[in-house]
Amino acid sequence: MKPNKRLMAVLGLVCLFLMVFGGTALAAKKVIHVWHTETNPLSRTAVANIVERFEALHPDIKVEAEALAWGDLEGKIMASLAAGSPPELTHGQPITCAAFQAKGLLMPLDEVVKAIGEDNIWDQIKKVGKYGDHYYGLVHAAGTSLLIYRKDLAQKKGLKGPKTWDDLLHLAKQLTMDTDGDGKTDIYGLTIPGDNLFINILLGELTKANGGILFDDQNRPQFTDKCMIETLNFLKELTKYMPPGWEGHGYRETFANMYGQKAAMMYQGYGRGASLIEEYAPKDMANSDYFDVWIKPHGPSGTKPAAQVDEEPWLMFKGCKYPKEAIEFLKFFYQDDNYLEYIQTVPIHFFPITKSLRRNKAYQETPMIKKWKGWLDVQGYYLDNDLVKPTLVVDWKDMAGKPYLMEILGSAILKDMVMEVTKEDVPPEKAAAKAQKRAEELIKDKGYAKW
């Protein structure tokens, strides 16, 4: 055989071998992109472990899971939609889900709900992502805002949990203390995060606790209403007992005020803070004998407490490349063994959405759950009695009826109003009127005004 013919024969055999035996290796895997907001190392490891087990069962699928900070997520979602290449799955806020669903951008997750068992999902969870007969969002886990307090200091002064806002003001005053007698405050009565997201969360739940609404059925803002003016006056008084610079504190800095013994109460605390206390507080204080939770109070025009629920739903976008494979991954994610590993990474903040996992003995025996049970009991009270709503949602009908809430959140209108009252000494009525005008203009511009 001539050299060139011999070479041709060898190449032909190689090609035949690759076609017959290497087809699987050469075939491109189906890559699904999963974006989530749990950036802590334990959660990232749990997700990676779940992905590894899923890929072992599905060798034709590759899952690229990416943990993103909240500040980065929204921008990345919008950029991916603009580019026509959205991820298969991403976390989003409930009001994000509402906005995207209203624009027809989401695919239903009904198959996942069916696999879990609709009756196996807690009723409160179902309200977040269900529109009509379909689920366009499915919460990964739930946790509520908490009023955390220094139990040891309260007991020394004989103080009890607040029922009303006046009670909370009294507590804040009593717990603002000069402990070393140098004439300077060492412990402030209360601390809250001052960034835009948390001010919006705070104002939403205070409005609900004071019997008010943020927007009426015609989508007109109600910022000049009596309930809002009472809320702004309350915040103005409350900030007298907060540490200097609170308006510039993010969530982590605010929690540092708690475990660093600079503040006696934290209004916008969350269950994940128990992990921060265990890590950073003095070891003899890192327990619920020193850091416990009270049920939040209601305002003068309200009758019930209110809190915010932190429960980001999974979203699946139209136009993603592999929706069927993404559905299979979510089904796998919620299987008890996999879901338990994920939930146990932040056990005092991650309430399982499934009844089966909450009944699971391995879940109930989680050491942190046993140690911080009181924190979970208060969250359970809020959830079971429908006292919690997502950010800026006062009534459940707001989820489907007010798709502009995401724009309100991003506008910083509410934060500016609060800061004008609390930091610039602007009269509440004047600050509210300014915010009312800005919000009306925004809603008109977006085409949602019905008044």
Do 323 and 274 sit in the same domain of this protein?
no
Per-residue pLDDT tens digits for 40-95? 999 999 999 999 999 999 999 999 999 998 778 888 999 999 999 999 999 998 98
pLDDT (0 to 100) of residue 8: 54
d(CA 142, CA 380): 10
* pLDDT confidence band for 177 (50 / 70 / 90): very high
Do 86 and 150 sit in the same domain of this protein?
no
Per-residue pLDDT tens digits for 139-175? 999 999 999 999 999 999 999 999 999 999 999 999 9
Q: Lowest-pLDDT range, 63-72, 226-235, 301-310, 379-388?
A: 63-72
Query: In the predicted model, what is the mean pLDDT of residues 436-446?
Result: 97
pLDDT (0 to 100) of residue 25: 43
Query: In the predicted model, what is the mean pLDDT of residues 307-322?
Result: 95
Identify whether 12 is part of a domain: no
Identify whether 15 is part of a domain: no
Query: In the predicted model, what is the mean pLDDT of residues 377-387?
Result: 94
Identify whether 17 is part of a domain: no
Q: Report whether 259 contacts 278 (CB < 8 A).
A: no
Do 362 and 427 sit in the same domain of this protein?
no
Do 271 and 397 sit in the same domain of this protein?
yes
pLDDT (0 to 100) of residue 22: 47
Query: In the predicted model, what is the mean pLDDT of residues 441-448?
Result: 96
Query: In the predicted model, what is the mean pLDDT of residues 429-436?
Result: 98
Enter the tokens of residue 243. Answer: 């540490």
Enter the tokens of residue 38. Answer: 């749990």
Pick the last residue of a domain from 339, 371, 403: 371
Do 158 and 124 sit in the same domain of this protein?
no
Do 179 and 294 sit in the same domain of this protein?
yes
Q: What percent of the chain has pLDDT over 70?
A: 94
Bridge partners of 270, per DSSP, are 145
Q: Which domain holds residue 160?
A: 143-309+388-445
Do 189 and 330 sit in the same domain of this protein?
no
d(CA 28, CA 33): 15
pLDDT (0 to 100) of residue 5: 56
Query: In the predicted model, what is the mean pLDDT of residues 198-222?
Result: 97
Q: Specify the number of domains making up the chain.
A: 2
pLDDT (0 to 100) of residue 26: 44
pLDDT (0 to 100) of residue 16: 52
Q: Is residue 31 over pLDDT 90?
A: yes
Query: In the predicted model, what is the mean pLDDT of residues 200-217?
Result: 97
Q: Report whether 334 contacts 141 (CB < 8 A).
A: no
Q: What percent of the chain has pLDDT over 90?
A: 88
CA dist 397 → 95, 115, 127, 338, 432 (Å):
12, 27, 10, 33, 24
Looking at the chain, the number of H-run helices and the number of E-run strands are 23, 12
Identify whether 40 is part of a domain: yes
Per-residue pLDDT tens digits for 221-242? 999 999 999 999 999 999 999 9
Question: Mean pLDDT over all residues of the chain?
Answer: 92
pLDDT (0 to 100) of residue 48: 97
Q: Indicate the burial class of 325 (C-beta count within 10 angstroms; 0-12, 13-18, 19 or more).
A: buried
pLDDT (0 to 100) of residue 10: 47
pTM of the model: 0.88
